[in-house]
Structure 1
Amino acid sequence: MKIIRLEDHNNLIFEKICEWNYNWWGIRDGKSYEEVRCNLEHSLNKDRLPQTYVALIDEEPAGMYQFAMFDDLDTRPDIYPWLINVYVDEKYRGKNVCRKLMNTVNENAKKANLQELYLYTKHVGLYEKFGWKFVEEVKTFKKDSPIERLYRLEIK
């Protein structure tokens, strides 16, 4: 398995992550496939945020994450940058893809000149394994998950 920073949208890897994100949050948030694709096209940066990283197994996308200046946590516009869209394809779950992705976050954040990252999630006990510190519970105003957990990672 290798983790790459994706910089090109003219390939099957990009099309697969568009499909994942559309099915995951695009439909939920009322976004068209074109909106999700456009958002992801503009996350393929080398020297600034947002940036997209993809786990590949035999050149097939298995999972991803992104660094971004904002997430959809409207109640906390005062904090940034964010780790967003941490995702592992269903057929690769349980095969250490998340672990390998998360083990590259600090190194890639350092290369991007970041000093800290934030994320929010429903998961308890997952991100702590990778050095993330719980900050507080936050209101999301989402019907399915009105309260989630805010985490911070100090980049070392």
Structure 2
Amino acid sequence: MELVNLRERGGLAAPAAAWFHDRWGIPARSYRESMDACLAGAGAVPQWYLALQEGRIIGGAGVIENDFHLRRDLRPNLCALWVEEGFRRRGVAGALLAHACADMARLGCPTLYLVTEHTSFYERYGWQFLCMVPEADSPCLLRMYRHRT
């Protein structure tokens, strides 16, 4: 498995945007705009990370300013973590999380946040439950986690 910083492999932006769209249902155009901003290199955020197996995307995650919640002060946010079913329980997600956290710390962002419905998955990788936050455009509350490198 190879872990890739998209900013170093810009040719993967189009297939990565389509891959994330297929997993999460967010328009590919939205992913591509964020990835283009990553490639422009204007700041530490956004960033995108991929796990490749023989050149095929098997996992990925991003870091964006806000992941659909109203706590704008809790940023940047890890988002869109996904590992293909056939590669789950093999350490891919943990490797992506560690890689993203370490890279973001090198870029000057030692603290990351994320919202999730999972109640124990992220704790295994050093994330700590912080609080409940209101979801944007919804009355629902989301679980907010924090990771400090």
TM-score relative to the length of structure 2: 0.82
1:11-26 → structure 2 map (5 Å cutoff): 13-23=12-22, 24-26=24-26
1:78 to 67, 73, 80: 73
> What residue in structure 1 maps to residue 141 of structure 2?
147
Deviates further, 88-97 or 146-155 = 88-97
Q: Which residue identity does 1:146 align to in structure 2? A: C
Task: Give the distance between the partners of 1:108 and 1:153, measured in 2 at CA.
Answer: 13
1:2 aligned onto 2:2: yes
Asked whether the equivalents of residues 49 and 69 of structure 1 are also in contact (C-alpha less than 8 Å), the reply is yes
Gaps of 5+ in 2: none
> Could you tell me how far 1:45 is from its partner in structure 2?
5.2
Change (3 A) 1:128 1:21: same
Asked whether the equivalents of residues 115 and 145 of structure 2 are also in contact (C-alpha less than 8 Å), the reply is yes
Change (3 A) 1:115 1:37: closer
Asked whether the equivalents of residues 18 and 36 of structure 1 are also in contact (C-alpha less than 8 Å), the reply is yes
Task: Give the distance between the partners of 2:80 and 2:49, measured in 1 at CA.
Answer: 10
Task: Give the distance between the partners of 1:151 and 1:98, measured in 2 at CA.
Answer: 16
Superposition CA RMSD, Å? 2.3
Task: Give the distance between the partners of 1:112 and 1:100, measured in 2 at CA.
Answer: 18
> What residue in structure 2 maps to residue 118 of structure 1?
113
> Could you tell me how far 1:129 is from its partner in structure 2?
0.7
Q: Which residue identity does 1:111 align to in structure 2? A: R
Task: Give the distance between the partners of 2:66 and 2:101, measured in 1 at CA.
Answer: 18
1:40-59 → structure 2 map (5 Å cutoff): 40-44=35-39, 46=41, 48-59=44-55
What's the secondary structure of 2:67's corresponding residue? coil
Higher helix share: 2
Gaps of 5+ in 1: none
> Could you tell me how far 1:89 is from its partner in structure 2?
2.5
